Chain A
């Protein structure tokens, strides 16, 4: 058996695959954060709560309306997108032009309120959500047993990341978004409705978080705290990738997933810390992040 640093190679293949799957999640969530920060200059601490709401909406659609997993993939992000738009219009917009710290505090407060309300309503042990029939079961890849659902998650997340990147980098809408980030008054002078664009961007970021929530519902415990644990890691991903950098978030998300996966084999106790160790090193060497532009 081929061994690498005392671990069988075959075990490492499996862990690399799992790392890639987690990386897909990190990429998807940090992407939403990056889009929101890039355009609104808001550090969206409510992202984890929106992710959780996405999972709960998925559960609610099934439990109360009998709507299954596949329609939820579209419906849940839509619902949360609308909620995001309302949040931006009624709350976040009032802080435009202020120090980003205010936005951070506001969204953090929103997250606490949302999570508190959900805990009050649904308790702390969560609600069950089963894997959709078509994706249940697992395939034996020879080096590991890969659940079909995980394979689907990695594909769905990758496709979504690619789509968002294409929209922002390759379309006219994306060009306008990027232009508004650089100089909003000028873009507005050309007749573009910048406030509406800002609202829609926040809504899109929220919808991305909810999409992540739908993907997570069958794998993780759907409970009001599910976003809290994840959001810290995702912020680290955004900081390492460079605040506001779309491509940076995607590449860093996948990369860190793999690093974390390998740590789980060699030193499992450190697997929650390794991402932050990387963050410290990156911040020391490249303060703007791997893909960020120095201010």
Chain B
């Protein structure tokens, strides 16, 4: 290589610039990393809207006015635990990320919980479903925000039996998530005095046609057909249930507002679902939704998105109180402070965070409106029942979280 004067000057300039870059990285900027599915099946329950929610939280908190600099970045975990964990390491080690948000996909989230603990950073997932995050896999750096499998099974299973749906037939995706959901729901159905008359486990992934299983559900005589699946499978099975004229109550165990939007009300009408957030639930939720609409028009946030907003906001409140530098230095200490401070935001109202890392708020049972009942765009849900925050989630003693001292 020939060293020219230009090379020398460039090198000298870089050498001068380098310390400046380092100095800026060390200054107390809070950095949120939204690690989500940007290209796959969960893009609509997390995806770009998750980052919008985090940015909205930054704006609503008024970080700039308080003299705090906050940055939000995002990446695609491609639903692969190794990819997700790799990005998390890079973010924590090299890019100065303090908090990871969102993370749809339970497998990826369990991998990242381990990385966050190892690096002593903060992990606030709102979009994985597995209740293991606050059970056997809980740790001092993680708070599970919006919903979990136990809560969904408890609300949909228990409340439906109380309203008369006491015999069930399950259509279940044949993998860990589907079976866990069916097992938990069965428990609540039995506890409420109902019974399960049959079930069918279909191959996952790769099933497009549910007609055969729907026919078996129809023939079973059960009053309720429960769908223990998610995403496109849920849309397909419920769409085909409408086609076959299933007259039974249909209960979706994990249905997001994006799924309902994808099915259309003609198909989804009268479906019973559980959610911890609905954009049109009350004045505060509506106010939040209008502010979000200005940033991301034509979509409405699901419960995972609401969780991203709520989690980012609560973290900033705690960081402002304890000092940004301290919050950045010790993830576990920050999470402990977050647990000590009650939560309050437009999405979930007043709530709290339990010792095992479970964020507590009420859970709602909804019925999807008929096309005639729906008066405006995204006007989809009617409230059937509310489970208060202290009953909505699994009791701490049943979770087996090692953090909880008995």
Interface residues of A (CB under 8 A from B): 11, 14-15, 18, 21-22, 116, 119-120, 123-131, 137-138, 144-145, 147, 149-150, 218-221, 223, 225-226, 229-230, 232-233, 261, 264-265, 268-273
Interface size class of B (residues with CB under 8 A): 35 or more
Closest to A126 in B: B262
When the two chains form their complex, are residues B243 and A147 in contact, meaning their CB atoms are under 8 A apart? yes
Most chain B CB neighbours (cut-off 10 Å) among A18, A233, A268: A268
When the two chains form their complex, are residues A261 and B41 in contact, meaning their CB atoms are under 8 A apart? no
**A11–B41 alpha-carbon span in the complex (Å):** 34
- The 8 A CB mask of B177-209 against A (1 = contact, 0 = none) is 000000000000000000000001111011111
When the two chains form their complex, are residues A128 and B267 in contact, meaning their CB atoms are under 8 A apart? yes
When the two chains form their complex, are residues B39 and A271 in contact, meaning their CB atoms are under 8 A apart? no
Closest to B238 in A: A221
When the two chains form their complex, are residues A119 and B39 in contact, meaning their CB atoms are under 8 A apart? yes
Q: How far is the CB of A227 from chain B (nearest CB, A)?
A: 10
When the two chains form their complex, are residues B40 and A124 in contact, meaning their CB atoms are under 8 A apart? yes
Closest to A233 in B: B206
Are A223 and B235 CB-contacts (below 8 A) given A127-B262, A147-B245? yes
Are A125 and B213 CB-contacts (below 8 A) given A119-B43, A219-B240? no
Which 7 residue pairs across A and B have the least CB separation, nearest first? A128-B264, A272-B203, A125-B262, A221-B235, A264-B212, A124-B43, A126-B262
Are A144 and B215 CB-contacts (below 8 A) given A22-B209, A128-B264, A221-B235? yes
Are A124 and B244 CB-contacts (below 8 A) given A18-B211, A226-B208, A268-B200? no
Interface residues of B (CB under 8 A from A): 37, 39-45, 47, 174, 200-203, 205-209, 211-213, 215-216, 218-219, 231-232, 235-236, 239-240, 243-245, 256, 258-259, 261-264, 266-267
9 contacts between A and B (CB under 8 A): A119-B39, A123-B43, A124-B47, A138-B244, A221-B235, A221-B236, A223-B262, A265-B216, A269-B202
**A175–B379 alpha-carbon span in the complex (Å):** 58
Chain A residues within an 8 Å CB radius of B43:
119, 123-124
When the two chains form their complex, are residues A229 and B231 in contact, meaning their CB atoms are under 8 A apart? no
Other-chain contact of B232, A14, A125, A131 (Cβ < 8 Å): A125
When the two chains form their complex, are residues A126 and B244 in contact, meaning their CB atoms are under 8 A apart? no
Most chain A CB neighbours (cut-off 10 Å) among B209, B256, B263, B266: B209
When the two chains form their complex, are residues A14 and B215 in contact, meaning their CB atoms are under 8 A apart? yes
Q: How far is the CB of A191 from chain B (nearest CB, A)?
A: 45
Chain B residues within an 8 Å CB radius of A119:
39-40, 43
Chain A residues within an 8 Å CB radius of B244:
138, 145, 147
Most chain B CB neighbours (cut-off 10 Å) among A126, A131, A218, A261: A126
Chain B residues within an 8 Å CB radius of A271:
202-203, 207, 212
Q: How far is the CB of A118 from chain B (nearest CB, A)?
A: 11
When the two chains form their complex, are residues B262 and A128 in contact, meaning their CB atoms are under 8 A apart? yes
Other-chain contact of B41, A124, A137, A265 (Cβ < 8 Å): A124
**A126–B266 alpha-carbon span in the complex (Å):** 15
**A130–B202 alpha-carbon span in the complex (Å):** 25
Most chain A CB neighbours (cut-off 10 Å) among B201, B203, B205, B259: B203
When the two chains form their complex, are residues A125 and B239 in contact, meaning their CB atoms are under 8 A apart? no
When the two chains form their complex, are residues B39 and A221 in contact, meaning their CB atoms are under 8 A apart? no
When the two chains form their complex, are residues B262 and A272 in contact, meaning their CB atoms are under 8 A apart? no
**A9–B240 alpha-carbon span in the complex (Å):** 23
**A144–B216 alpha-carbon span in the complex (Å):** 10
**A264–B201 alpha-carbon span in the complex (Å):** 10
Taking A124-B37, A125-B231, A265-B212 as given, write out 15 further A-B residue pairs in contact, using a Cβ cutoff of 8 Å, ordered by the A residue number: A18-B211, A18-B212, A124-B231, A125-B256, A130-B266, A130-B267, A145-B245, A147-B245, A150-B211, A219-B240, A223-B235, A233-B206, A264-B202, A264-B213, A268-B202
Other-chain contact of B42, A120, A124, A144, A149 (Cβ < 8 Å): A124
Most chain B CB neighbours (cut-off 10 Å) among A124, A145, A272: A124
**A15–B244 alpha-carbon span in the complex (Å):** 13
**A268–B240 alpha-carbon span in the complex (Å):** 18
Closest to B37 in A: A124
When the two chains form their complex, are residues A125 and B215 in contact, meaning their CB atoms are under 8 A apart? no
**A129–B205 alpha-carbon span in the complex (Å):** 23
